[in-house]
Amino acid sequence: MSLTLPATESARIRSHLLGAYPEEGCGVLLGQDLPGGRRVERAIPIDNRGEGARHNRYVIGPEQFLAAEKQGREAGLDVVGFFHSHPDHPAEPSGFDLEQAWPYYSYLIVSVSRGRVTEMRSWRLAEDRSRFDTEALVLVPPTDADPAADGET
Amino acid sequence: MKPRTRVHIPTALRLYAGNQPVVEVEGDTVGEALQALVSGHGELRRHLYDEEGRLRRFVNVYKNGHDVRYLEREATPIGPNDTLAIVPSIAGGADPSSPGESGAPADAPARPARPAPPDWVTGADGLPPISQAELLRYGRHLILPEVGLQGQRKLKAAAVLIVGAGGLGSPLALYLAAAGVGRIGIVDFDRVEESNLQRQILHGTSSVGRPKLESAKARLLDLNPGVRVDTYETRLTSENALDILSPYDIVVDGTDNFPTRYLVNDACVLLGKPNVYGSIFRFEGQASVFDAARGPCYRCLYPEPPPPGLVPSCAEGGVLGVLPGVIGVIQGIETIKLILGGGEPLIGRLLLFDALAMTFRELALRKDPACPLCGERRTIDRLIDYEQFCGLTPAEQAGVTAEALEITAKELAANRERGDVPVLIDVREPHEHEIARIPGSTLIPLNTLPARVSELDTSRMIVLHCHHGQRSMRALEFLRQSGFQKLKNLRGGIDAWSRDVDPTVPRY
């Protein structure tokens, strides 16, 4: 299992999560499953709808999910996962992440500490819901052709 | 034969439904259709239902595009032409109690069946959990039905920004920290001075000369180590205000000047945050809550700032040390009410407190439909230059800079030494003149200057002074407009004189 993340999208994710710090930020990953692994084509930042403790909770509501899915369908992409930050916590799934997890999706967790991204890891739920397994995260370096990603959406 | 209903399966679950995007099932209700779905595709069950057989919290079911939570949930009736869709909602987040722990016990599903711990222990409902130590600390809150566990958790989840760690900010910050407000931000750039300690009880004698934020943070964390205190050692400006304010739920204005007050108001309205306002002068204070979503803003009350100099600051006019205690605490109560969501907030009401008469009065405030900021037609959609708006940009219009109009205490002393003795006018109040005076000065209090202007000689150099240099600058402006040309303002006032020239003149 692997998740390939182009530099533009990784920059978009970082910028959104740094902006949300010290609250948790989150978003949807659109992409496709290719024979060589899963590839993200576009990261969509989402307003964290969590009520109350946004410093350690994020929520992407069903309406937001449907909107992202529609955006993906128009571009020929699927929802392949989600990203969220753990402010001042490691990029590892919490018990709460596990309780709430869906199978199939990639859960990209980004540790943000004192306004800096310190760690990025991607996870998938095990078949029996007992744990998360880590998946290889392949970061594609930027090319000259990439427009500067500044996190605007 | 029961109606067959189409159920859309999200990508994530298709693997467990024979790789089909749509499955047809039988059932008269949503609940029956889902049960039919999981009996046909057994592996779906553990993803849709929890161990107690309840639909998982993050599984949403839509009937013809409507969330069944707002219909009759699982009892929602369905017919053959209806379409159901299973829609994920996604949630998660760091473990609040245990940084560094990977919370993935391998035997989670095999847990023995025992009652799930309540939300206030786990924080599963999104509000922070309360620990045993916190139960003890906040016991007097918890037994108030209006606060209780939920209210205390709301306080813990709340983020409040205090602008100014001075007279109002001191009692306010202390009580908010004591009450368990989870995140407190403070903006200030001053250092503690001896003359602050008469009312700014966050700071102590040992902190004199050190940044106010340093003593404030140390005092608050000593009072309650469970709160997070973020400090911003800067002047709040149009450039940084939106960034500093944005992580906070509520902003409390503890400033003592008009430019910052308008800045705080405007930034709060633009960001949609409530602004808990307080101000003090001598023996009187005011408080209100400006929340443009529910009532007027500060501009509805005062569309324009007063002309510079009309309203003296506390440094000039004085303030009873206890007064900011009363007003700051009222701001604290209003802040906590906004967080808890109960009671009658001070929105649309201006509370007036008179310490000498010991009366509280209340004025009704109305939202001004013509308010340029929160009215029907907003003409202000960004932060402006508030120094200029309040007329405080130095008198450059006439081609004269403020510096050119000033003289330092040392220069004045050197001139007098040489025999170049200007007319020295003290524009302070008589009781101040009684405490300290510069030898050779003539007392003409600022408010009597217009009546006594004829006593002054336009041909001679006049040096004006007050306590710190603000009132005398206004006197200078007045004289300039009256035709005087040979004018200087003593920079730093009598305070600078005593510091730099003559230490026998008492400082106050």
Enumerate the domain spans of chain A.
2-139
The CA dihedral of B369, B375, B378, B384, to the nearest 10 degrees, is 110
Which residue of A22, A50, A56 is in closest CB contact with B247? A22
The ipTM, to two decimals, is 0.81
Pairwise CB contact (< 8 Å): A103 & B47: yes
Residues of chain B with CATH 3.10.20.30: 4-88
pTM for the model: 0.53
Q: What contacts A142, CB < 8 A, 6 or more positions away?
A: A7, A8, A11
Question: Which tens digits make up the pLDDT trace of B29-83?
Answer: 999 999 999 998 888 888 898 888 888 888 889 988 888 888 888 888 998 888 8
Q: Does domain B4-88 have CATH number 3.30.360.10?
A: no
CA-nearest of B48, B80, B76 to B63 is: B76
Q: What angle do CA B168, B172, B178 make, to 5 degrees?
A: 160
Please report the pLDDT score of residue B174 as a whole number: 98
Q: Which residue has the higher pLDDT, B72 or B286?
A: B286
Size of interface A-B (CB pairs under 8 A): 150
Mean pLDDT of B110-128: 67
Question: Which tens digits make up the pLDDT trace of B459-491?
Answer: 889 999 999 888 888 888 888 888 888 899 999
Question: Which tens digits make up the pLDDT trace of A129-143?
Answer: 888 998 988 888 776
Cβ-based contacts of B61 with chain A (< 8 Å): none
The answer on pLDDT for B369 being more than 50 is yes
d(CA B264, CA B251): 8
Pairwise CB contact (< 8 Å): A103 & B15: yes
Instruction: Locate B230 and state its tokens.
Output: 């973020």
Question: Which tens digits make up the pLDDT trace of A6-33?
Answer: 989 999 999 999 988 888 899 999 999 8
Instruction: Say whether residue B94 is in contact with chain A using an 8 A CB cutoff.
Output: yes
- The CATH topology of domain A2-139 is Cytidine Deaminase; domain 2 (3.40.140)
CATH number of the domain at B403-500, please? Answer: 3.40.250.10
CA-nearest of B164, B160, B192 to B179 is: B160
A136-150, B133-147, B214-228, B371-385: range with lowest mean pLDDT? A136-150
The answer on pLDDT for B396 being more than 80 is no
Give the rounded percent of residues in chain B with a pLDDT score beyond 90. 53
Residue A27: in which H helix or E strand, if any?
strand A26-34
Superfamily (CATH) of domain B158-389: NAD(P)-binding Rossmann-like Domain (3.40.50.720)
**Mean pLDDT score across all residues of chain B:** 87
Pairwise CB contact (< 8 Å): A95 & B104: yes
